[in-house]
């Protein structure tokens, strides 16, 4: 019974189906954020995002075949005048990069406008947990009928009683 309800729920409502897919993909975007690095706060192995200068972005875009304004990946090495990053390239679907190949890129500091480090975000994690819990509760209530009783229907008022006088 539940399987039939669930399958008709998904098949008959593309909006609900899309909502369910987005709900399942939502955790992939949470929990981390990029924070600007000030001074010498970098270490090899840090996940970084480098915002590139316009000429450098144009050169990288021509090499990759799509517009690129920044690159992301683990920092392999750095000196006072250069940064070396391992970057994954691939198709982008719904904001997620599916890596096809990896390249090691080295940039001079003059080619990089800003360096951001990927860090754990308590706020995003909390919001993600609340959203997933709310979504799960709403989904369960939609599938099960909103928690309403599934008992027998109310029979309604009793039939009227008729009295017939005898012996008068």
Which pTM value belongs to this model? 0.58
DSSP 3-state assignment of 133? helix
Q: Residues 113-160: pLDDT tens digits? A: 999 998 888 887 888 888 888 888 888 888 877 655 556 667 777 777
53 touches 112 (CB < 8 A): yes
Q: Residues 62-83: pLDDT tens digits? A: 988 889 999 999 999 999 899 9
Ordered by start, the domain boundaries in the chain are: 1-30, 32-121
Q: What pLDDT score was predicted for residue 2?
A: 47
Burial 65-81 (b: 16+ CB within 10 A, else e): eeebebbbbebeebeee
pLDDT, average across residues 21-50: 77
Q: What pLDDT score was predicted for residue 51?
A: 96
């Amino acid at each position: 019974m539940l399987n039939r309800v669930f399958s008709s729920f998904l098949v008959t409502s593309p909006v609900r189906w899309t909502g369910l897919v987005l709900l399942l993909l939502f955790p992939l975007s949470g929990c981390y954020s990029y924070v600007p690095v000030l001074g010498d706060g970098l270490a090899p192995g840090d996940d970084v995002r480098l915002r590139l200068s316009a000429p450098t972005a144009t050169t990288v875009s021509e090499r990759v075949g799509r517009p690129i304004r920044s690159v992301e990946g683990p920092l392999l090495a750095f000196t006072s005048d250069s940064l070396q990053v391992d970057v994954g390239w691939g198709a982008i679907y719904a904001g997620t990069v599916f890596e096809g190949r990896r390249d090691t890129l080295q940039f001079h500091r003059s080619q990089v406008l800003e360096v951001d480090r990927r860090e754990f975000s308590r706020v995003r994690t909390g919001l993600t947990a609340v959203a997933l819990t709310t979504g799960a509760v709403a989904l369960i209530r939609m599938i099960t009928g909103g928690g309403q009783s599934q008992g027998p229907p109310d029979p309604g008022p009793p039939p009227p009683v008729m009295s017939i006088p005898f012996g008068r």
